[in-house]
Structure 1
């Protein structure tokens, strides 16, 4: 155990400078380290602290007082993540803290291909799962659809949605992916850029199963998501994080999210209980402004067994 000690003066002006991207990546990796790694982490912290010029004072003070003195590391880890401005990724398949923090800053751009909805009645019950701030619901309303509802795991996103679209129906999911809707009660489910935010295979399957439950026989699932990219930047981060998360295509973004890009055949497997009516490839800007390849799938719910 390392003794309590002060490494640099608390008033050191270089220490209180804004965190640089390279520093944030390093400290994020420390925040997510397992308990068995922490002795090495503490030694490395002492070695590197004088070299870092982007470490926030709050994080530095917490690390020195709590971590180095050997307090309950795993219990206190969320405090360190909070001090660093990094969401606590205790549940990678919802990441509510990240999406709450991002609610006012992100712009979503997956396009709504209206010809796919030409045969949908204007009074059909449409559910936007992962509605964010209501962008897609607004587009549907402008096309004349009247029975619209949106749900999201992030209260911050729903607050923004209410502020932007006060007459629309939005709700926070308390226990995702469980929905309050009865069986076979929805005509169309919109699922735009949601699976990319759910890294786990099982969590994705649970979500699709829940959407199948609430869809009427013959109901429509309109999915839009991101494919594996073939550029050097993405290939490098897929490889970097494959061992940590166990799936090639799962990666950490520079601002603290854990996301996933998919091979196209994964969607075929995921939607095995649906009839695929149509697919289309798209190019879309991600929430962080990178042009990426995506896929849209129009699927039909089979008859009830």
Structure 2
């Protein structure tokens, strides 16, 4: 999250009249993240989050917003999108698509323990199962085709050692994604960005997943790998913390058992998750967009994780 499109309380004042939320009384930009313009919005009816979408189009957004509504209706803890008086979940603001969703209780847990990882693992499995009958389809827009484009874009900006690693890992992932085992993996809607700062806790109680705007249809195992690569590591080294990994995977497996194909491809998918975020951070660092509030993330963090996943065997799925 960031602020690329400045919005004032006065701007929102008339615009919000189409929603059943009363008057807007406070608006505050959210500085974290790097994709959309986000604001905490307080109205006469409560607290919400206003998002202006900087890259996603009006045609793409129904997938994300309807997915959140679908998951909420199936008991998954996610923000609920608010419809306007025409039943629309996405409407223009300053000429760009915008949406309002409910604000979750609590705060992100940035120093997770096994109990937090177990809660995330169990809810992630529930989310995957709940999404099985979601009618809309959209690919993960940051999957292999985007990795190819991003690789070509960042190669001129990185050192030879990094370029070698990137070439070799892309070769590995191209072969993996072409394999019969990969195509046998179970798939459906995934969050694809379930980092610590995209989950809310009240103490040890998980209150919800949010920021679904990287979601898409992909393998469930990729979603688990992305989540483990953030929640279950030592931040300084990138090494997996086995107690947290075990807590997350066991809780997930108890709700939606892992398959034999997932077991065999688990180490490779951890590498895929690390590659995806190394590439996006390289791209954001070397080809940045202007923003009023923006702090690019350090690419070396996921370079380190990727090198570690290649060198060190991963804990078993089950």
| TM-score, reference length from structure 2 | 0.27
Q: Structure 1 or 2: larger helix share?
A: 2
- Please identify the structure whose Cα radius of gyration is greater: 1
Higher relative contact order (CA 8 A, sep 6+): 2
| TM-score, reference length from structure 1 | 0.27
Q: Structure 1 or 2: larger strand share?
A: 1
